[in-house]
Amino acid sequence: MRHFRTLEEIVECLVEEHQKQGFVILPAAALGTLAVRKIDDDKLMSINLTVIAQALWEKFS
């Protein structure tokens, strides 16, 4: 089990896992780090990894 010392470490882990699943990572300073992938009918799925990491950090730290 991995232990994270900072929010940035959680974001890095989420980035690694989403890249393995075919997401393109877009570091956007104003929005946080985004993971984007094309899904059915040429629609884009966008996930804000920074928001997820922040929620995990608040819950488990």
Q: Give me the number of domains the chain comprises.
A: 1
More confident residue, 27 or 45: 45
Q: Which residues pair with 43 in a beta bridge?
A: 39
Residue 31 within a domain: yes
Residue 2 within a domain: no
What per-residue confidence (pLDDT) applies to 7?
A: 93
Residue 53 within a domain: yes
Residue 49 within a domain: yes
Residue 42 within a domain: yes
Whole domain around residue 50: which residue ranges?
A: 7-60
Residue 21 within a domain: yes
> What pTM did the predictor assign?
0.86
The set of residues, in sequence order, having a beta carbon less than 8 Å from that of 46 and lying 6+ positions away, is 34, 35, 36
- CA distances (Å), origin 18, targets 11, 25, 26, 43, 61: 10, 8, 11, 17, 23
DSSP conformation class of 23:
P
Residue 1 within a domain: no
**Which token pair is 4?**
């994270």
Residue 40 within a domain: yes
